């Protein structure tokens, strides 16, 4: 089967060997696995981070967002059948979705939204799971709740931020404040439903005061948490909550003590990495997202379509993500 992989660690993305077109064996599904014919994928920051950090002596396939058709099912599969259209974000512990065929545990797979084409659906799984778990599981905001409270989303124009803005605005009563520093991303975040958009390149607390929000009850820090932490602590009200998804270097949490602030880390791969008893919640979550998409409550966060799934186009996608200038999600489609 066609696949895109690498066999050396930490090559710059400009190097043709950083991601290469290959022919690899077609995988075989295990008892609870689906064998999916991949039709579209999206590229996430985790793809670039794994490429930079993980050595490979044999071909390593990246990519975790995928949309496709189930072609075979394992002996214990009960949630899907051959021919079903699905979308999912895979597992860090297994080969990725930059391949014509991919195996994935059925418990972390959802039905593809009927109202979206493959490319627009591929933009959703990883970021939807991350945003959903961050908002409802980590921060503990109740659906329909949050009245009189506020959520500041740092990096609201990225993939996770783009769906988090929508979930918070559509499914809670929180006042939603997103940050963006460019005109394009400010317009994007506002269009997704944020009540306010402020500039993360300028002092946050002053801007919050100008819009009449003052201190916030919740912060979702999606990028450069280490840089923003002093401002986050100042912006949070006493007993507020901070949720983080990035990898800040040497994060000093002592400043959180004086205000009794709580810190939550969100990694959407935790359930699949540890095969937790509630692993199937990601199946239910993705089906709920598909319903909300088909009902018009949520919309896809596709930012750019980079064409066919091949090494050249994937290197371009990785380069854009590494530049920090991507808005929404980058998708690729077909082999």
- What CATH number corresponds to the domain at position 315? 3.90.180.10
Assign residue 188 the CATH number of its domain.
3.40.50.720
**Mean pLDDT of successive 10-residue segments in the chain (335 residues)?**
90 93 97 98 94 86 97 98 98 97 98 98 97 98 97 94 97 98 93 97 96 96 95 98 93 96 98 97 98 97 95 97 88 97
User: Which pLDDT score, from 0 to 100, does residue 10 have?
Assistant: 76
290 located within any domain: yes
> Is 6 among the domain residues?
yes
Residues for the chain: how many in total?
335
The answer to whether residue 284 sits within a structural domain is yes
Please report whether residue 181 resides in a domain: yes
Handedness of CA 86, 87, 89, 94 (dihedral sign): positive
Same domain, 144 and 259: yes
pLDDT at res. 324:
84
Our count of domains for the chain comes to: 2
Q: Is residue 170 part of a domain?
A: yes
| Same domain as 313, residue 287 | yes
pLDDT at 326: 83
pLDDT of 6: 94
Answer yes or no: do 98 and 8 share one domain: yes
The residue out of 216, 237, 265 marking a domain boundary is 265
Same domain, 246 and 317: no
Q: Are residues 100 and 148 in the same domain?
A: no
Does 194 lie in the same domain as 234?
yes
Residues 156, 202 within the same domain: yes
**Of 265, 290, 317, which residue is a domain's last?**
265
Flag whether 20 is in a domain: yes
Query: What span, in angstroms and rounded, lies between the C-alpha atoms of 239 and 332?
Result: 43
**Domain boundary residue among 240, 265, 290?**
265
Domain limits for position 55: 2-124+277-333
> Residue 271 falls within a domain, yes or no?
no
The SS3 assignment for 217 reads strand
Q: HEC string of 120-184?
A: HHHCCHHHHHHHHHHHHHHCCCCCCCCCCCEEEEECCCCHHHHHHHHHHHHHCCCEEEEECCCHH
**For residue 272, is it within any domain?**
no
Same domain? 230 vs 292: no
Clarify whether residues 208 and 301 are in a common domain.
no
Q: Does residue 81 share a domain with residue 135?
A: no
Same domain, 256 and 328: no
Interior CA angle at 172 toward 167 and 176, to 5°? 70
Residue partners of 113: CB distance under 8 A and separation at least 6: 87, 121, 124, 289, 290, 293, 294
- Same domain, yes or no: 117 and 93: yes
């Amino acid at each position: 089967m066609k696949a895109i992989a690498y066999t050396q660690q930490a090559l710059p993305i400009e190097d043709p060997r950083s991601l290469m077109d290959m022919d690899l064996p077609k995988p075989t599904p295990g008892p609870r696995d689906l064998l999916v014919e991949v039709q579209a994928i999206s590229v996430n920051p985790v793809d670039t981070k794994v490429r930079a950090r993980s050595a490979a002596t044999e071909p390593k396939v990246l990519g975790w967002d995928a949309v496709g058709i189930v072609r075979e099912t394992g002996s214990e599969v009960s949630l899907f059948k051959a021919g079903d259209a699905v979308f999912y974000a895979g597992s860090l512990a297994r080969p990725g979705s930059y391949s014509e065929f991919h195996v994935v545990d059925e418990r972390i797979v959802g039905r593809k939204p009927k109202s979206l084409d493959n490319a627009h659906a591929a933009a959703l799984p990883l970021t939807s799971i991350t945003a959903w778990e961050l908002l409802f599981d980590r921060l503990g905001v109740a659906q329909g709740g949050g009245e009189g409270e506020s959520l500041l989303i740092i990096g609201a124009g990225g993939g996770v931020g783009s769906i988090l803005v929508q979930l918070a605005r559509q499914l809670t009563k929180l006042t939603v404040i997103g940050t963006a520093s460019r005109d394009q991303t400010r317009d994007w975040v506002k269009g997704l439903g944020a009540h306010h958009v402020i500039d993360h390149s300028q002092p946050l607390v002053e801007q919050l005061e100008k819009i009449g929000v003052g201190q916030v009850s919740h912060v979702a820090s999606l990028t450069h948490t280490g840089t923003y932490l002093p401002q986050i602590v100042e912006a949070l009200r006493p007993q507020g909550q901070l949720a983080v998804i990035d990898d800040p270097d040497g994060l000093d949490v002592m400043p959180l003590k004086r205000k009794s602030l709580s810190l939550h880390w969100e990694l959407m791969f935790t359930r699949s990495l540890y095969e937790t008893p509630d692993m199937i919640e990601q199946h239910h979550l993705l089906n709920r997202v598909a319903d909300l998409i088909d009902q018009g409550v949520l919309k896809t966060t596709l930012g750019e379509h980079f064409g066919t799934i091949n090494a050249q186009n994937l290197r371009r996608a990785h380069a854009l993500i590494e530049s920090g200038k991507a808005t929404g999600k980058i998708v690729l489609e077909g082999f």
